[in-house]
Homo-oligomer: A and B are copies of this chain.
Amino acid sequence: MMRAALFTLALLAASAAQADTPEQRLAAAGLTLPPPNKPIGLYVPAARSGKLLFLAGHTECPIKATGKLGATMDVAAGKANAASVALCMLATLKAELGELSRVKRVVRVMGLVNATPEFTDHPAVMNGFSEVMTTAFGDAGKAPRTAAGAGSLPRGIPVEVEAVVELK
């Protein structure tokens, strides 16, 4: 009896470890990946060189919200948009790699926040992006980050994020 119980416990533990993929962690947090943006015209969503995968400036996909922080969008809404951008980038990664577990770590994040000259809370907005990435990848989702204000962004979107990830 005791041995059988231990054996069952070991099986459960193994199953839990196997279950711990980025996709499952996102699902457990109630997060769903959108369909990725299609490669369009004169650029591509990602390009690999050696172990590095360079990712294009991402928006939410598809683009729904427009807004300027400090004027027409508040920090909470900006943070939610940044989270959507992260999900869009993860959708690109999933489409490129098949499995998100092929990401070793995020090595660079640059977040541009569409904001008025007086706005100062870019990090709080970008935390929406970083929270999703750490949900998916744990500490490997914590990257060196630049958060800055763009005077304007394509189509009036509130947030655009570019990144580089290292692959296993």
What is the interface of chain A, defined by CB distance below 8 A to chain B? Answer: 39, 41-52, 54-57, 68, 70, 105-110, 112-123, 127, 130-131, 134, 142-156, 160, 162, 164, 166
Whether A110 contacts B162 in the complex (CB less than 8 A), given A47-B143, A118-B152, comes out as yes
Q: Which residues of B contact A114 (CB under 8 A)?
A: 149
Residues in B neighbouring A122, C-beta threshold 8 A: 152-154
Task: Using A54-B108, A150-B150 as known contacts, list a sample of 11 further A-B pairs with CB atoms less than 8 Å apart, ordered by residue number in A.
Answer: A43-B142, A43-B144, A45-B144, A52-B107, A54-B143, A56-B145, A57-B145, A110-B146, A116-B152, A120-B154, A123-B154
Give the top 6 A-B pairs by smallest Cβ distance, nearest first.
Answer: A57-B146, A149-B152, A151-B151, A56-B144, A42-B130, A43-B145
A160 cross-chain contacts in B, Cβ below 8 A? 146, 148
Q: Is the CB of B51 within 8 A of A147?
A: no
Chain B contacts for A119, CB-based, 8 A: 152
Chain B residues with Cβ below 8 Å from A166 are 47, 49
Q: Which of A49, A147, A166 has the most CB of B within 10 A?
A: A49
Q: Which residue from chain B places its CB closest to the CB of A149 in the assembled complex?
A: B152
Chain B residue contacts of A149, Cβ below 8 A: 114, 150-153
- Closest Cβ neighbor of A71 among chain B residues: B117
Q: In the bound complex, what is the Cα–Cα distance between A26 and B114 (angstroms)?
A: 36
CB distance from A102 to the nearest CB of B (A): 14
Closest to A114 in B: B149
